[in-house]
A and B are shown apart, each in its own frame.
Chain A
């Protein structure tokens, strides 16, 4: 079974600064998908960015980018020019492309609470 580890329960950053949230995972599969989800106080789960393991190029979405290190099984999220609206819980998640008749669900880390200081 896959596991996802987020070692930072809480992070704090000044507005307009850059912050990096860490995520590591354990898997025996060679192909898979990785995601970062944002959960603001509204409780809604919002997809921030996604990465396909077979793509070496790191995904970027505006101010959000990832550092994907496949050999190290690391998938960190960098938020540039932090804004007050970025304050939220952030979850790293793993998805196998092969359901094999079993669950095709996401495996989540425990989350990192990001605080933005004005």
Chain B
């Protein structure tokens, strides 16, 4: 793989179910991010990790959790999905503090019904 791999590409999920969106990068970037994209709202930061072992909350963290056990993986978990979490989710990575080092995954389209 080269860049960022997200899985699944799309998913339909029943409300109340637990779901983990996977994100793996092979560029050894220290910083990783999860965004959600909603029509008319652009992309909003959910959670971030500046380095392995640390995470932080972004603009819209409620209902989501993340972990960063190693440099490459940054999964996003919805503990109990709700319809308002229907969105397209993007994982991204960068060399922290470096200009233009942002790389995005191809996104996961999640529909909660």
Binding site for B on A (CB under 8 A): 9, 33, 35, 42-45, 47, 50, 52, 91, 95, 97, 99, 101-111
Q: Which residue of B has the minimal Cβ distance to A97? A: B97
B75 at the interface (CB under 8 A from A): no
Contact yes or no, A103 B41, CB < 8 A: no
Contact yes or no, A104 B94, CB < 8 A: yes
Contact of A44 among B35, B50, B97, B104 (CB under 8 A): B104
The CA-CA distance from A45 to B48 in the complex, in Å, is: 18
Contact yes or no, A43 B42, CB < 8 A: no
The CA-CA distance from A25 to B58 in the complex, in Å, is: 19
Contacts of A108 in B (CB 8 A): 35, 42-44
| Max chain A C-beta neighbours (<10 A), residue from B44, B92, B100 | B100
Known pairs A45-B90, A50-B100; A105 contacts B41 (CB<8 A): no
Contact yes or no, A110 B56, CB < 8 A: no
The CA-CA distance from A110 to B44 in the complex, in Å, is: 9
Contact of B96 among A52, A99, A106, A107 (CB under 8 A): A99
Contact of B33 among A101, A105, A111 (CB under 8 A): A105
Near A by CB (< 8 A), chain B positions 77-109 give 88, 90, 92, 94, 96-97, 99-100, 102, 104, 106-107, 109
B40 at the interface (CB under 8 A from A): yes
Q: How many residues of B contact A (CB 8 A)?
A: 26
The 7 A-B pairs of least Cβ separation, nearest first, read: A45-B104, A108-B42, A110-B42, A108-B43, A105-B45, A103-B48, A43-B107
B31 at the interface (CB under 8 A from A): yes
* A–B Cβ pairs within 8 angstroms, 22 of them: A35-B102, A43-B106, A43-B109, A47-B100, A50-B99, A50-B100, A52-B99, A97-B97, A101-B50, A102-B56, A103-B56, A103-B58, A104-B31, A104-B96, A104-B97, A105-B35, A105-B92, A106-B33, A108-B43, A110-B40, A110-B41, A111-B42
The CA-CA distance from A69 to B96 in the complex, in Å, is: 26
Q: Which residue of A has the minimal Cβ distance to B88? A: A43
| Max chain B C-beta neighbours (<10 A), residue from A44, A99, A104, A106 | A104
A54 CB to closest chain B CB, in angstroms?
Answer: 11
The CA-CA distance from A35 to B48 in the complex, in Å, is: 19
